Structure 1
């Protein structure tokens, strides 16, 4: 667990001329008139349907203009609704899954969802007889019908004693990883051998697939020279049919040869049966929390961002967390063909911290600066890198029922919480130099344990399977999302009791938000001096009318000019409808 302070800010320190800042926020209690309204992006919506309060949902925008709406249920399998280019639907197609009982859908982990050959491909991990098993489901991109259901890979059986909760945010299995080439329809899966014997070195089996789902290459990725027993936190980049690039952390314990660790990278060339690999010497003894790979097409290099916990003597390197849980963030620029390190540097954001100190940070936190955690990063077409941060703090509370006494007993349960604070956006050059930074005030609490790189993981997995009922918690509506299109930045988030007309964007006057049903979606623009705002889905007609959307379901077109998500419309306490909405940023 880690702890951190919650401080909030409201402006932008510096803005390059080529960028205009637009902030799109989901704001609770948005009932007062908005001054100086700006025009929100145009949107269209589907016919209304009942809000799916149980199961999990996803959207996929297809190249043919269709939108596929997936509902993963624990009674009917996978329901798919296909919306055409005019956003009209012919109805819901029910697809039964034959590989497990319907009620076991709640135990599945979504590993990936993307388009290949005009069809939608879903990768689900399921525990079958205590063996993690990866399934590939292929759905027709025009009809939504399930075309193929096949077992793709299996891992070692997990002992009963090691069975863990597979719920959202508590345990996301690291048995399998699935990645697709952003520029083509080639993809790869990694099978992580985390249950190998005590004498055997861990390895990751990598399988490279063509768009016709045939295997191009497969090989075992191991620590060079058998240096490290354990391999953790892998990420993969796929380059068409040419190669697959992988990075992970290797480490030992005292019982397996010492406590050293390094980041390891490797490449599997087309047709080869073994990897070329390399240990990055400068990552000696890193305690990595996670690493993420992204490819920049303009220079052909891979950018690897890794977060690692600092030692007491190196805490000046850290920018995330408190002194007792201090984390540094390092960008590594790598040549995926030669495995050469072109550059590596620690991320610093003095402008972001200076803004927090000078404007809205509490007196106790002004010296600490901004210490939010990394959630993702984006390689932009304009030659900049955007880093997405968010304050996060883990907590717990014990709840009891009954009365203590001779004739009664007290039942208690512990609820794990994540307090999610203000957003930090940093735009930097490829060399790490900070160009512009701003923060957005936000204060949320969700009854789940959520961690850093949440926004990145949402793209590939990390779904929340809703149980329904009044006690259902919905982390899929929390945190935020980000979009940069047409030279403008958009930030999406949920917050409570936000006063749109407040000059100070100070969280200290607000209560934390636990409920989501009082939200409205607003669109705000920054002109360099002040923020102007508008309701994205129209101003509510009454105080008890709300329109909000599900962040976890956000999907965009390849050019990012169309965004789709699910909007919930609430009138009064009980009247709710759901819509698929398409927001146009053209």
Structure 2
């Protein structure tokens, strides 16, 4: 890893095709307990959401001039706005010029899904819907080959349109009077939130399913991949399935992947590539030697498997970014779990090292072609599964730690921003360990935010050059960003996040817009 002096970077601005332009909002107090999310809208407005533990959802709208144009507090009649602590966010999207929030809460031990639609101009609540409920969580969970039978709600939005899907997965042990064919429902909605299609998802030979991923092809199809599970079968207790629901059909088309028989602890990313009408399926499974990764390509119309390519990945897969021609970029992060204290099974003693960044470029046949890495060392509270950046991209969130001082989750991991003027990677770090003369062995993993600063690298496969977006950090002055709240408009190369300014003991926050 080569380190670059700040002085050289500031003098050598000619190395960059364009210096990022930064605009900051008026400052406001550092966010407290709760959850923050920013949504960039097509009309040029920016919606800042703060999920407050007591007041509900506080909405601040910024206009095209990046000035506050409206504020609103959103509560509801169907969901409990005072129970944010036990609320799960299953998705936040910009759809049809509106902000759409999917919330999940337990009501008498039954998971219930609620959809909130906010006006994209003033932030007011336009509609509130209960989309469904699952059976009680009090039944026994089902684990097969270290795959968990999902008992949860999931969402997915077509990145090329406003169509979106909601999946209801009923897990747990089948009850005596329960119809297994009706445990899973997939619903497709139009950009104006009307139900387009709904169907039950099942295969007769598999009673249980672990949700892996889902993607939407406009108003035409919903694609979903699961780990299909069954007990007391040594030959095939689990198998990965790719399925398709075409609008107008009442049943799914399924494609089993035989080579995945008895895969353990499976994770996946399923992406539709419109230009070539193919599906890209990244599969990650555990084995005694660690994790195995496979890149698959399928015909979107027939689900025929076109090729399967094993991959050697230096880290945990976090996000798959498909290109128009069927190639892709795979983002990786070196992650290891460890426990502190005498009870290794206690959740609050579990931690995750979120270390070096890896970027791999994959060709249309799924073969790894090139890439690079960046040194990063962070420690997160709790356990992080693969595809964390994929979940963050959807706006998924649940309380990991009720102690605010330990809730560093939104500040960890990294951002990968492909722009028309180059590729940028952002993350928070202790800068003193990256200065010239330092070494990797001297580096201290970032665990607390008191000395954190945001760094930005402009990257190619051969060079990684560092710059500072918000100014030169000093001993008593610095800047760090809440990456978990961020949003990015790829077509406009606009990135927005919450930036915290630290001057001694004083901290202030602001919304930062960065145009690359």
- Normalised to the residue count of structure 2, the TM-score between the two structures is 0.89
1:140-163 CA-partner distances (Å, limit 9, x unpaired):
00000111111111000111887x
Q: CA separation in 2, counterparts of 1:53 and 1:531?
A: 34
User: Are positions 1:502 and 2:442 aligned together?
Assistant: no
Q: 1:46 to 1:345 in 2, by over 3 A?
A: same
Say if 2:184 and 2:201, in contact at 8 Å, map to a contact too. Answer: yes
Q: CA separation in 2, counterparts of 1:470 and 1:93?
A: 24
SS across alignment from 2:59: strand
Aligned mate of 1:51, from 30, 49, 53: 30
In structure 2, what is the equivalent of residue 208 of structure 1? 188
Which is richer in strand?
2
SS across alignment from 2:9: coil
Aligned mate of 2:209, from 225, 231, 235: 231
Aligned mate of 2:39, from 52, 60, 78: 60
In structure 1, what is the equivalent of residue 163 of structure 2? 186
SS across alignment from 1:476: helix
Cα deviation, residue 229, structure 1: 2.2
Q: 1:510 to 1:91 in 2, by over 3 A?
A: same
Cα deviation, residue 466, structure 1: 8.0
Q: CA separation in 2, counterparts of 1:160 and 1:231?
A: 16
User: Are positions 1:146 and 2:125 aligned together?
Assistant: yes
In structure 2, what is the equivalent of residue 568 of structure 1? 500
Say if 1:447 and 1:473, in contact at 8 Å, map to a contact too. Answer: yes
Q: Which runs of 5+ in 1 are unaligned?
A: 1-8, 12-22, 24-31, 163-170, 311-323, 350-369, 401-411
Q: CA separation in 1, counterparts of 2:237 and 2:397?
A: 34
Q: CA separation in 2, counterparts of 1:562 and 1:249?
A: 37
User: Are positions 1:243 and 2:207 aligned together?
Assistant: no
SS across alignment from 1:282: helix
In structure 2, what is the equivalent of residue 517 of structure 1? 450
Q: CA separation in 2, counterparts of 1:279 and 1:563?
A: 39
Say if 2:227 and 2:266, in contact at 8 Å, map to a contact too. Answer: no
- Equivalences, count: 499
Q: CA separation in 2, counterparts of 1:418 and 1:207?
A: 35
Aligned mate of 1:490, from 396, 410, 424: 424
1:490-535 CA-partner distances (Å, limit 9, x unpaired):
212222355444377x532112221123222233345787644321
SS across alignment from 2:37: strand
Q: 1:556 to 1:525 in 2, by over 3 A?
A: closer
Say if 1:252 and 1:258, in contact at 8 Å, map to a contact too. Answer: no
User: Are positions 1:156 and 2:123 aligned together?
Assistant: no
Q: 1:453 to 1:527 in 2, by over 3 A?
A: closer
In structure 1, what is the equivalent of residue 392 of structure 2? 458
User: Are positions 1:342 and 2:285 aligned together?
Assistant: no
Cα deviation, residue 91, structure 1: 4.2
SS across alignment from 1:63: coil
SS across alignment from 1:449: coil
1:169-212 CA-partner distances (Å, limit 9, x unpaired):
xx998511111111111111110011362565474211111122
Cα deviation, residue 85, structure 1: 0.5
Q: 1:241 to 1:33 in 2, by over 3 A?
A: closer
Cα deviation, residue 414, structure 1: 5.5
SS across alignment from 2:72: strand
SS across alignment from 1:81: strand
Say if 1:56 and 1:466, in contact at 8 Å, map to a contact too. Answer: no
User: Are positions 1:393 and 2:358 aligned together?
Assistant: no
SS across alignment from 2:259: helix
RMSD, aligned CA: 2.7
User: Are positions 1:421 and 2:355 aligned together?
Assistant: yes
Q: CA separation in 1, counterparts of 2:376 and 2:8?
A: 21
1:533-562 CA-partner distances (Å, limit 9, x unpaired):
32111113x421111111111211151510
Q: 1:380 to 1:570 in 2, by over 3 A?
A: same
Q: 1:219 to 1:426 in 2, by over 3 A?
A: same
Q: 1:217 to 1:398 in 2, by over 3 A?
A: same
Say if 1:385 and 1:429, in contact at 8 Å, map to a contact too. Answer: yes
Q: 1:281 to 1:83 in 2, by over 3 A?
A: same
Aligned mate of 2:368, from 434, 437, 443: 434
Aligned mate of 2:472, from 515, 532, 539: 539
In structure 2, what is the equivalent of residue 286 of structure 1? 263
Q: CA separation in 2, counterparts of 1:188 and 1:420?
A: 31
Q: 1:394 to 1:207 in 2, by over 3 A?
A: same
Say if 2:419 and 2:490, in contact at 8 Å, map to a contact too. Answer: no
In structure 2, what is the equivalent of residue 35 of structure 1? 8
User: Are positions 1:114 and 2:93 aligned together?
Assistant: yes
Mean CA deviation greater in 529-538 or 511-520: 529-538
In structure 2, what is the equivalent of residue 551 of structure 1? 483
Mean CA deviation greater in 465-474 or 69-78: 465-474
1:388-415 CA-partner distances (Å, limit 9, x unpaired):
1111111111289xxxxxxxxxxx9962
Q: CA separation in 1, counterparts of 2:402 and 2:76?
A: 22
Q: Which runs of 5+ in 2 are unaligned?
A: 14-18, 142-147
Q: CA separation in 2, counterparts of 1:115 and 1:247?
A: 24
Q: 1:469 to 1:251 in 2, by over 3 A?
A: closer
Say if 1:35 and 1:532, in contact at 8 Å, map to a contact too. Answer: no
Aligned mate of 2:66, from 78, 87, 91: 87
1:283-318 CA-partner distances (Å, limit 9, x unpaired):
2232252111111122111101110123xxxxxxxx
Q: 1:466 to 1:343 in 2, by over 3 A?
A: closer
Q: CA separation in 2, counterparts of 1:560 and 1:90?
A: 22
Could you say which structure has the greater relative contact order, defined with CA pairs below 8 angstroms and 6 or more residues apart? Answer: 1
In structure 2, what is the equivalent of residue 166 of structure 1? none
SS across alignment from 1:455: helix
